[in-house]
Amino acid sequence: MMQSYTYARIKKSIGGVIVKNTVPRLVKGDTVGFVALSSLVEPEKLGEALAFLDELDLRYKIGDTINAKHDYLAGSDEERLADFHAMVKDPEVKAIFCVKGGYGSARIAGKIDYDLLAENPKIFWGFSDLTYLHGAIHEFADLVTFHGPMLMAASKMDDISKKMFLQLFTPMEVQYTEMISPLTAIAPGVARGQIVGGNLRRLVSTLGTKFEVRTESKILLIEDIAESIPRIDSMLQQLKQARKLEQLAGVIIGSFTQTGADEAALLTLMTEYFAELGVPVVAGFKIGHETTNIAIPLGVDAILDAQEKVLRILPGVH
């Protein structure tokens, strides 16, 4: 699943590319920050997240947004923006963990000081609604971010998902094979490119904005929860009409849970959209809203091999 590599071996394994936009690794004893940039948090449930950080031998600072409330949001836009900027500016904070998704990150994306983040590079971790900020940070701060489970759900993570946090401490090539989950090749081929994407609904919501997802020569990751097959069809159609599927390098289909349909129906739909693109497409990755949620860096080079059914991703830290 994860292998520690020398840079020479990484270069040999993935075409001689060393990613320059990686972020500094964590060291045991480092301090990390907790923020809520989306929906309202139940702070009484924070205990399991703190306990998990104790297991990782990390210290923590709890942002003001953990206890903030503004309607359905974890504080007003100004409060959430200020909390994020405070964590970016704080020299003691080496990583920023978003504790909950839902909705809200898009509301602050246009006000974030991306130059400040580029000048103070640090780990940014989250998924689901945070897809919006992953793309924004890649585009405007040119930094790798991490698509991984929220710490508020630490007790629901299985062991393999918890082990994925180790990639934050040591540069490791993430290797996803069928040892983790059965994979289905929808279209053959081998591709190399940067991984982008995340939650399908949030990706579609970027269209027509300055944060519009850029897919040219990229390996696109998609996942979602509680969307019906017709809704997924509609969102894929919107990506297609926006010409976001035309110049892809490859497609990683993650977890689509609570669709109200069986996996065969989902696979049929994905085949309709992706089988004839002429790029490798593989489904079945446990990346998304499930107990197994394999964390991966976004914005780094990867190789997707549909023949061997393997995904290899460069480290996100240095």
Q: Which of 173, 223, 227, 290 is catalytic?
A: 223
Q: Which of 134, 138, 147, 289 is catalytic?
A: 289
Taking a C-beta distance cutoff of 8 angstroms, is the pair 222, 197 a contact?
A: yes
Q: List Cα–Cα distances, 72 to 32, 33, 76, 83, 203, in angstroms.
A: 25, 22, 10, 17, 21
- φ, ψ of residue 213 to 5 degrees: the values are -60, 135
Torsion sign across C-alpha atoms 134, 95, 114, 76: positive
Q: How far apart are CA 87 and CA 305, in angstroms?
A: 38
Cα 252-257-261 angle, rounded to 5 deg? 105
Cα 114-31-293 angle, rounded to 5 deg? 75
Given the structure tokens 């979602």, which residue do they identify?
224
Given the structure tokens 């020479």, which residue do they identify?
8
Q: Is 289 a catalytic residue?
A: yes
Q: How far apart are CA 7 and CA 142, in angstroms?
A: 21
Burial pattern 103-137, b for ≥16 Cβ within 10 A else e, equals bbbbbbbeebbbeebeebbbbbbbbbbbbbbbbbb
Q: Is 76 a catalytic residue?
A: no
Q: Which of 128, 161, 205, 255 is catalytic?
A: 128
Q: Is 272 a catalytic residue?
A: no
Query: Which residues are tagged catalytic?
Result: 128, 223, 289
